[in-house]
Amino acid sequence: MNKPKIALTIAGTDPTGGAGVMADLKSFHACGVYGMAAVTSIVAQNTKGVQHIHNLETSWLSEQLESVYDDELPQALKTGMIASKEMMELIQSYLKKYPEIPYVIDPVMLAKSGDALMDDDAKSDLQNILLPYAKVATPNLPEAEEITGLKITDEASIYKAGNIFINDIGSKGVVIKGGHSENLDTAKDYLFTKEDVFTFESPRYETQHTHGTGCTFSAVITAELAKGKSIYDAVNKAKQFIALSIKYTPEIGQGRGPVNHFAYMKEVGLDDE
Protein backbone atom coordinates (compact mmCIF):
# COMPACT_ATOMS: atom_id res chain seq x y z
CA MET A 1 0.00 0.00 0.00
CA ASN A 2 1.32 3.43 -0.98
CA LYS A 3 1.93 5.93 1.78
CA PRO A 4 -0.86 8.54 1.77
CA LYS A 5 -0.25 12.21 1.12
CA ILE A 6 -0.66 14.41 4.19
CA ALA A 7 -2.38 17.78 4.51
CA LEU A 8 -2.19 19.92 7.64
CA THR A 9 -4.79 22.44 8.75
CA ILE A 10 -4.06 25.18 11.30
CA ALA A 11 -7.34 26.75 12.33
CA GLY A 12 -10.10 27.11 14.90
CA THR A 13 -12.79 24.62 15.84
CA ASP A 14 -16.51 24.23 15.26
CA PRO A 15 -18.17 21.78 17.68
CA THR A 16 -21.06 21.25 15.27
CA GLY A 17 -18.63 20.10 12.58
CA GLY A 18 -19.50 22.52 9.79
CA ALA A 19 -16.42 24.72 9.68
CA GLY A 20 -12.86 25.05 10.96
CA VAL A 21 -10.59 22.06 11.45
CA MET A 22 -13.58 19.69 11.53
CA ALA A 23 -14.65 20.71 8.02
CA ASP A 24 -11.03 20.65 6.82
CA LEU A 25 -10.43 17.10 8.02
CA LYS A 26 -13.64 15.86 6.38
CA SER A 27 -12.62 17.54 3.13
CA PHE A 28 -9.12 16.07 3.24
CA HIS A 29 -10.63 12.62 3.77
CA ALA A 30 -13.07 13.07 0.89
CA CYS A 31 -10.11 13.91 -1.36
CA GLY A 32 -8.18 10.80 -0.35
CA VAL A 33 -5.59 12.68 1.71
CA TYR A 34 -4.61 12.01 5.32
CA GLY A 35 -5.47 15.01 7.49
CA MET A 36 -3.63 16.49 10.45
CA ALA A 37 -4.75 19.50 12.50
CA ALA A 38 -3.32 22.08 14.89
CA VAL A 39 -5.89 24.17 16.75
CA THR A 40 -5.57 27.95 17.14
CA SER A 41 -8.87 28.80 18.85
CA ILE A 42 -11.70 26.98 20.57
CA VAL A 43 -14.90 28.44 19.10
CA ALA A 44 -18.35 27.84 20.53
CA GLN A 45 -20.49 28.13 17.44
CA ASN A 46 -23.36 26.45 15.66
CA THR A 47 -25.53 27.09 12.62
CA LYS A 48 -27.12 30.06 14.42
CA GLY A 49 -23.89 31.94 15.10
CA VAL A 50 -20.76 32.30 17.19
CA GLN A 51 -21.34 32.38 20.95
CA HIS A 52 -17.81 32.37 22.39
CA ILE A 53 -14.20 32.43 21.17
CA HIS A 54 -11.26 31.28 23.27
CA ASN A 55 -7.94 31.91 21.54
CA LEU A 56 -5.21 29.55 22.61
CA GLU A 57 -1.84 30.71 23.83
CA THR A 58 0.74 30.86 21.06
CA SER A 59 2.93 28.44 23.03
CA TRP A 60 0.16 25.85 22.81
CA LEU A 61 0.05 26.17 19.03
CA SER A 62 3.84 25.97 18.96
CA GLU A 63 3.78 22.70 20.87
CA GLN A 64 1.27 21.21 18.42
CA LEU A 65 3.29 22.24 15.38
CA GLU A 66 6.52 20.93 16.93
CA SER A 67 4.84 17.56 17.44
CA VAL A 68 3.67 17.40 13.82
CA TYR A 69 6.85 18.57 12.12
CA ASP A 70 9.10 16.50 14.37
CA ASP A 71 7.34 13.33 13.22
CA GLU A 72 6.01 13.66 9.66
CA LEU A 73 6.08 16.59 7.25
CA PRO A 74 2.85 17.43 5.45
CA GLN A 75 2.81 17.72 1.66
CA ALA A 76 0.64 20.86 1.94
CA LEU A 77 -0.86 23.01 4.66
CA LYS A 78 -3.58 25.59 5.08
CA THR A 79 -4.53 28.15 7.67
CA GLY A 80 -7.96 29.36 8.59
CA MET A 81 -8.74 31.33 11.73
CA ILE A 82 -5.51 32.86 13.09
CA ALA A 83 -6.19 35.06 16.09
CA SER A 84 -2.98 36.95 16.79
CA LYS A 85 0.17 38.42 15.29
CA GLU A 86 2.26 36.08 17.45
CA MET A 87 0.53 33.03 15.97
CA MET A 88 1.06 34.39 12.46
CA GLU A 89 4.76 34.92 13.11
CA LEU A 90 5.04 31.38 14.45
CA ILE A 91 3.40 29.96 11.33
CA GLN A 92 5.58 32.18 9.15
CA SER A 93 8.67 30.60 10.72
CA TYR A 94 7.54 27.20 9.42
CA LEU A 95 6.74 28.63 5.98
CA LYS A 96 10.26 30.04 5.79
CA LYS A 97 11.85 26.81 6.98
CA TYR A 98 9.89 24.62 4.56
CA PRO A 99 9.31 26.79 1.46
CA GLU A 100 8.79 23.69 -0.69
CA ILE A 101 5.53 22.84 1.11
CA PRO A 102 2.64 24.64 -0.63
CA TYR A 103 0.64 26.90 1.64
CA VAL A 104 -3.04 27.82 1.24
CA ILE A 105 -4.50 30.68 3.26
CA ASP A 106 -8.21 31.13 3.85
CA PRO A 107 -8.21 34.67 5.29
CA VAL A 108 -11.07 34.06 7.70
CA MET A 109 -12.43 37.33 9.06
CA LEU A 110 -16.16 36.77 9.48
CA ALA A 111 -18.33 33.76 10.22
CA LYS A 112 -21.29 33.12 7.91
CA SER A 113 -23.47 34.54 10.67
CA GLY A 114 -21.60 37.85 10.39
CA ASP A 115 -19.75 37.43 13.68
CA ALA A 116 -16.22 38.87 13.63
CA LEU A 117 -13.43 36.32 14.01
CA MET A 118 -10.51 38.77 13.70
CA ASP A 119 -9.83 42.32 14.89
CA ASP A 120 -8.53 45.15 12.70
CA ASP A 121 -4.90 44.79 13.80
CA ALA A 122 -4.93 41.08 12.97
CA LYS A 123 -6.30 41.83 9.49
CA SER A 124 -3.30 44.07 8.78
CA ASP A 125 -0.88 41.52 10.21
CA LEU A 126 -2.36 38.81 8.00
CA GLN A 127 -1.52 40.82 4.90
CA ASN A 128 2.05 41.54 5.97
CA ILE A 129 3.03 38.26 7.63
CA LEU A 130 1.25 35.36 5.91
CA LEU A 131 -0.24 36.36 2.56
CA PRO A 132 3.17 36.87 0.86
CA TYR A 133 3.93 33.17 1.42
CA ALA A 134 0.67 31.85 -0.02
CA LYS A 135 0.68 29.45 -2.93
CA VAL A 136 -3.05 30.15 -3.04
CA ALA A 137 -5.18 32.63 -1.08
CA THR A 138 -8.96 32.18 -1.11
CA PRO A 139 -10.73 35.39 -0.05
CA ASN A 140 -14.43 35.96 -0.65
CA LEU A 141 -15.48 39.40 -1.90
CA PRO A 142 -15.76 41.07 1.54
CA GLU A 143 -12.36 39.66 2.57
CA ALA A 144 -10.77 40.77 -0.71
CA GLU A 145 -12.17 44.27 -0.14
CA GLU A 146 -10.81 44.33 3.41
CA ILE A 147 -7.34 43.22 2.33
CA THR A 148 -6.97 45.38 -0.80
CA GLY A 149 -8.89 48.45 0.35
CA LEU A 150 -10.95 48.38 -2.84
CA LYS A 151 -14.72 48.48 -3.21
CA ILE A 152 -15.37 45.48 -5.46
CA THR A 153 -18.50 46.06 -7.48
CA ASP A 154 -17.76 44.57 -10.91
CA GLU A 155 -15.34 42.40 -12.87
CA ALA A 156 -12.92 45.28 -13.44
CA SER A 157 -12.52 45.81 -9.69
CA ILE A 158 -12.05 42.06 -9.19
CA TYR A 159 -9.15 42.22 -11.65
CA LYS A 160 -7.68 45.19 -9.76
CA ALA A 161 -7.92 43.24 -6.51
CA GLY A 162 -6.30 40.18 -8.07
CA ASN A 163 -3.44 42.33 -9.30
CA ILE A 164 -2.87 43.69 -5.78
CA PHE A 165 -2.68 40.18 -4.32
CA ILE A 166 -0.20 38.94 -6.93
CA ASN A 167 1.98 41.97 -7.66
CA ASP A 168 1.81 44.04 -4.48
CA ILE A 169 1.24 41.56 -1.65
CA GLY A 170 3.19 38.71 -3.29
CA SER A 171 0.81 35.73 -3.17
CA LYS A 172 1.59 33.24 -5.94
CA GLY A 173 -2.09 32.63 -6.59
CA VAL A 174 -5.40 34.00 -5.39
CA VAL A 175 -8.98 32.85 -5.91
CA ILE A 176 -11.43 35.70 -5.43
CA LYS A 177 -14.69 33.93 -4.77
CA GLY A 178 -17.84 35.44 -6.23
CA GLY A 179 -20.39 33.77 -4.00
CA HIS A 180 -21.28 37.12 -2.40
CA SER A 181 -21.91 38.82 -5.76
CA GLU A 182 -25.36 39.87 -6.90
CA ASN A 183 -25.33 37.56 -9.91
CA LEU A 184 -28.22 35.26 -9.08
CA ASP A 185 -27.64 32.72 -11.85
CA THR A 186 -24.10 31.46 -11.34
CA ALA A 187 -21.33 31.51 -8.75
CA LYS A 188 -18.21 32.74 -10.55
CA ASP A 189 -14.71 32.55 -9.08
CA TYR A 190 -11.55 34.17 -10.44
CA LEU A 191 -8.11 32.55 -10.15
CA PHE A 192 -5.18 34.92 -10.60
CA THR A 193 -1.58 33.78 -10.97
CA LYS A 194 1.50 35.65 -12.14
CA GLU A 195 1.01 34.22 -15.61
CA ASP A 196 -2.73 34.12 -16.20
CA VAL A 197 -6.33 34.58 -15.07
CA PHE A 198 -8.91 31.77 -15.07
CA THR A 199 -12.61 31.78 -14.26
CA PHE A 200 -14.74 28.97 -12.84
CA GLU A 201 -18.53 28.94 -12.82
CA SER A 202 -21.15 26.72 -11.22
CA PRO A 203 -24.90 26.98 -10.73
CA ARG A 204 -26.10 29.07 -7.80
CA TYR A 205 -28.34 26.97 -5.56
CA GLU A 206 -31.16 28.46 -3.53
CA THR A 207 -30.19 27.47 0.01
CA GLN A 208 -29.18 29.15 3.25
CA HIS A 209 -27.02 26.15 4.17
CA THR A 210 -23.56 27.44 3.27
CA HIS A 211 -21.83 27.26 6.66
CA GLY A 212 -18.19 26.28 6.17
CA THR A 213 -17.97 26.81 2.41
CA GLY A 214 -14.75 28.83 2.68
CA CYS A 215 -13.06 26.26 4.90
CA THR A 216 -14.13 23.41 2.67
CA PHE A 217 -13.10 25.10 -0.59
CA SER A 218 -9.61 25.97 0.67
CA ALA A 219 -9.18 22.51 2.24
CA VAL A 220 -9.84 20.78 -1.09
CA ILE A 221 -7.27 23.01 -2.79
CA THR A 222 -4.79 22.07 -0.05
CA ALA A 223 -5.50 18.36 -0.47
CA GLU A 224 -5.01 18.52 -4.23
CA LEU A 225 -1.76 20.47 -3.89
CA ALA A 226 -0.60 17.78 -1.44
CA LYS A 227 -1.09 15.29 -4.28
CA GLY A 228 1.15 17.39 -6.50
CA LYS A 229 -1.61 18.92 -8.62
CA SER A 230 -1.21 22.33 -10.26
CA ILE A 231 -2.93 25.40 -8.84
CA TYR A 232 -5.40 25.35 -11.74
CA ASP A 233 -6.29 21.68 -11.28
CA ALA A 234 -6.59 22.08 -7.50
CA VAL A 235 -8.96 25.04 -7.83
CA ASN A 236 -10.97 23.33 -10.56
CA LYS A 237 -11.50 20.30 -8.31
CA ALA A 238 -12.41 22.54 -5.37
CA LYS A 239 -15.00 24.36 -7.47
CA GLN A 240 -16.69 21.10 -8.47
CA PHE A 241 -16.46 19.81 -4.90
CA ILE A 242 -18.04 22.86 -3.27
CA ALA A 243 -20.82 23.09 -5.86
CA LEU A 244 -21.93 19.53 -5.07
CA SER A 245 -21.47 20.15 -1.34
CA ILE A 246 -23.93 23.03 -1.54
CA LYS A 247 -26.32 21.24 -3.89
CA TYR A 248 -26.70 18.30 -1.50
CA THR A 249 -26.58 20.00 1.91
CA PRO A 250 -27.56 17.72 4.83
CA GLU A 251 -30.10 20.28 6.18
CA ILE A 252 -28.62 20.24 9.69
CA GLY A 253 -29.33 22.88 12.33
CA GLN A 254 -31.76 25.72 12.92
CA GLY A 255 -29.72 28.39 11.12
CA ARG A 256 -27.18 28.39 8.29
CA GLY A 257 -26.42 24.68 8.12
CA PRO A 258 -23.20 23.03 6.92
CA VAL A 259 -22.45 21.80 3.43
CA ASN A 260 -22.15 18.13 2.53
CA HIS A 261 -18.47 17.19 2.64
CA PHE A 262 -19.08 13.77 1.10
CA ALA A 263 -21.36 14.72 -1.81
CA TYR A 264 -18.42 14.71 -4.24
CA MET A 265 -17.40 11.20 -3.21
CA LYS A 266 -20.92 9.91 -3.89
CA GLU A 267 -21.20 11.77 -7.19
CA VAL A 268 -17.99 10.30 -8.64
CA GLY A 269 -18.61 6.85 -7.17
CA LEU A 270 -15.98 6.83 -4.44
CA ASP A 271 -18.60 6.04 -1.81
CA ASP A 272 -20.70 2.96 -2.50
CA GLU A 273 -22.90 3.31 0.57
Q: Active-site residue numbers?
A: 177, 210, 212-215
- DSSP assignment string, 183-239: -SSEEEEEEEESS-EEEEEEEPP--S--BTHHHHHHHHHHHHHHTT--HHHHHHHHH
Q: Which of 121, 182, 171 is nearest to 144 (CA)?
A: 171
Cα dihedral 20, 88, 176, 265, rounded to 10, equals -30
Q: Which of 176, 111, 117 is nearest to 150 (CA)?
A: 176
Residue 272 to residue 72: CA distance in whole angstroms: 31
* Dmax (CA) of the chain: 51
Stated as kind and residue range, the H or E segment containing 8 is strand 6-11
The three-class DSSP label of residue 36 is strand
Helix ranges (H only) for 31-186 are 58-71, 85-97, 120-129, 141-148, 155-163
